[in-house]
Amino acid sequence: MNRNDFPILKELVHGRELVYLDNAATSQKPQPVMDAIVEAYSHWNSNIHRGVHHLSQVATMKHEEARKAVAAFIGAESSDEIIFTKGTTDSINALAFCLGELLVHEGDEIIVSGLEHHSNIVPWQMLCERKKAVLRHIPLRDDLSLDIEAFKGLLNDKTRLVSVAHVSNVLGTIQPVEEIIRLAHESNIPVCIDGAQSVPHMPVDVQALNCDFLVFSGHKLYGPTGIGVLYGKREWLEKLPPHEGGGEMINHVRWSGTSYNELPYKFEAGTPNYVGSWALKTAMDYMQAIGWDAMEAHEQELTAYCEQQLRAIDGIRIYAAGQRKAGVISFNVYNGKELIHPFDIGTLLDQQGVAVRTGHHCAEPLIDEIGVPGTVRVSFGLYNDRADVDAFIAALQKSIAILG
């Protein structure tokens, strides 16, 4: 892994070299991704799909090439199944609207899990409120894993969709999505996988998983902000109504009514983020040049090393310790029985140049279940190394000494 590709890692924070361990919130960008953005605005910026002129054709070609690259990255059957959105949150909101219009009526049910990010809770709550439907959630066992037996009991003939995170953004645990998809499909219920925390860390193949929808964000994947993906199986996307009206998503507009464009354009109203899609493709190319085997092995090794170092410190409580994780560790520090507030730990770490996340991580129901005000979360990217973990552990020990 070439840290030199990531200029921001040379920044000084409070006079110290940055140790960036907040990758689950957003990842840093390699130089080629930044170059792609500058190149786009310097050489081929032009609105796509509408012009016969040269620049417009180049920009259109780049956007469509990016769509094909995304389809290949997640193993989709066709690039028509790739909808560009602003990110995971935007994708789930779009899906909640479209699916709600098509399928959800009074008394129907949607199932999420007890460890979801707010992005995979609130849009479904809003839909349920609109349609007088009911949101259910898969409960957690004591070890914070999903209670699959309870899930089986939740599935019934009113269930319209199951939507679950592939990897918990708080715990880093990899969820048994294969089993969830299989069980839901036995009852002909579609499944949406929130891949915000999995797609950046492991190969995700939508056809092998057989999920009906997959959502993720470009900015957690070494790409830019403002671009994300909603993948849907063609048979579903053909049936769903569009969620936004405007240019590009139409076939013909008459005062008597509008006919909609074909896939995927039906779901991309207005000028799309064609610079973002090209930069996302560049990020995916960058990752593929390193290769999944190397990235996964590196992150797994680093996560195990960090967990082992944390365990050696008195008073540390790691959540879902020892479970299979994808580059995320959440913990708290106790002084005897008393919790040291995660914000205090985070603030002292920051003063030593170490960036971690503290708080509820946009997953308040899970944090309530754990019964703490929040956690300290470290999360790794492909550029982190053992020196980062060592610097973090040393800074943490110093913080505990001050606060304890």
Q: Which residues are catalytic?
A: 362
Question: Is 114 near ligand PLP (CB under 6 A)?
Answer: no
Q: Which is nearer to ligand PLP, 199 or 391 (CB)?
A: 199
Q: According to the binding rule CB under 6 A, does residue 119 interact with ligand PLP?
A: yes
Q: Does 93 bind ligand PLP (CB under 6 A)?
A: no
Burial class (CB in 10 A: 0-12, 13-18, 19+), 145: middle
Nearer to ligand PLP, 46 or 225 (CB): 225
Q: Which of 23, 28, 120, 159 touches ligand PLP by CB under 6 A? A: 120
Burial class (CB in 10 A: 0-12, 13-18, 19+), 186: exposed
Q: Residue 119 or residue 375: which is nearer to ligand PLP going by CB? A: 119
Which residue matches tokens 């170490």?
Answer: 354
Whole-number Cα distances in Å, 314 to 317, 318, 320, 333, 374: 9, 12, 18, 8, 19
Q: Give the range of 81-89, 234-242, 369-377, 380-388 binding ligand PLP by CB under 6 A.
A: 81-89
Q: How far apart are CA 134 and CA 368, in angstroms?
A: 21
How many CA within 13 A on the CB side of residue 124?
Answer: 23
Spatial distance between the Cα atoms of 204 and 172, rounded to a whole number of angstroms: 16
Q: Is residue 159 involved in binding ligand PLP (CB under 6 A)? A: no
Which of 27, 28, 60, 169 is in the footprint of ligand PLP by CB under 6 A?
A: 169
Interaction between residue 194 and ligand PLP (CB under 6 A)? yes
Residue 381 found at the interface with ligand PLP (CB under 6 A)? no
**Residues pairing with 140 in the sheet:** 146
Q: Does 88 bind ligand PLP (CB under 6 A)?
A: yes
Contacting residues for 280 by C-beta, under 8 A, at least 6 apart: 66, 70, 218, 221, 223, 224, 227
From 197, 277, 282, 379, residue interacting with ligand PLP (rule: CB under 6 A): 197
Give the burial string for 189-210 (b: 16+ CB within 10 Å, else e). bbbbbbbbbbbbbbebebeebe
**Least distance CB 236 / ligand PLP (angstroms):** 20
196 binds ligand PLP (CB under 6 A): yes
User: CB under 6 A: which stretch of 33-41, 194-202, 319-327, 377-385 binds ligand PLP?
Assistant: 194-202
How far is Cα 324 from Cα 66, in angstroms, rounded to an integer? 32
Q: 64 or 369: whose CB is closer to ligand PLP?
A: 369
Which member of 217, 261, 303, 375 binds ligand PLP (CB under 6 A)?
217
**Among the candidate windows 114-122, 156-164, 178-186, 259-267, which touches ligand PLP by CB under 6 A?**
114-122
212 binds ligand PLP (CB under 6 A): no
Nearest to 158 by CA among 122, 139, 133: 133
CB of 115 to ligand PLP, least distance (A): 9
Is 287 within 8 Å of 274 (Cβ atoms)?
no
Smallest gap, in angstroms, from Cβ of residue 366 to ligand PLP?
A: 11
Contact 119, 194 (CB under 8 A): yes
Q: Which positions touch ligand PLP (CB under 6 A)?
A: 87-89, 117, 119-120, 165, 169, 194, 196-197, 217
